[in-house]
Structures are given as structure tokens and as C-alpha cells.
Amino acid sequence: MAFLMKSMISNQVKNLGFGGGSEENKEEGGTSDPAAAHGMTREEYEEYQKQMIEEKMERDAAFTQKKAERACLRVHLREKYRLPKRRRICVPPQCCR
């Protein structure tokens, strides 16, 4: 019942044109322009997006290189010490003595 009363009163206030309804509509619906949502102009937002994409590509490239270096080191150590690809885990403690 309280919800019904509140919605009826708020609708009447919106219709009076005091400006309260337009702000609520913007907040509820959100803005369709992502640049306005971030408080930037369209050009600034596009530049920001390009910068973010470039930084992500740099991070991905660095990660890929580190991953390849680790794999190379792993292969080198396996060959040097003749280690198996996977470590064998002994379940019963008697077999490891």
C-alpha cells in the first residue's frame, strides 16, 4: 500500500514540472553515451579507449614473453637434470624410502 501511495505521489510531482522527475529518469535509465558517463567529451573518451587497448596489448605481450621464458627454462632444466615432465608422487610412504 505504501508503495502504491509513493508511486502515485511521485508521478504527480513529476507531472508538476519541478524538475525532480527528469533527474530520476536520467539516473534510472543511465546515459546512452559512455563518454558522458565518464565525464569526458567524445574525443577524450575515444583517446582514453585507444590508450586502454594499447596498455592491455603491452601487458598481454609482456605476459606472453614471461610465459615463454619460463617454459624455455623448464625445458632446459629438464634436459640438464633429466627430470620427467611430471613429477611422480608416491602415495604410500613405504615406496619413498
Per-residue pLDDT of the chain (97 residues; tens, 9 = 90+): 666 666 667 766 666 665 554 554 555 555 678 888 888 899 999 999 999 999 999 999 999 999 999 999 999 999 999 887 776 666 665 655 5
64 in a domain, yes or no? yes
Domain count, the chain: 1
Q: Does residue 72 lie in a domain region?
A: yes
* Position 46 in a domain: yes
In-domain check, residue 19: yes
Q: Is residue 58 part of a domain?
A: yes
Answer yes or no: is 33 within a domain: yes
d(CA 40, CA 50): 14
Domain range for 17: 1-81
Q: Is residue 24 part of a domain?
A: yes
Q: What pTM does this model have?
A: 0.50
pLDDT at position 85 is 76
Q: Per the domain annotation, does 86 fall within a domain?
A: no
Check residue 41 and give its pLDDT: 92
Buried b (16+ CB within 10 A) or exposed e, 17-38: eeeeeeeeeeeeeeeeeebeee
* Predicted local confidence at residue 36, as pLDDT: 85
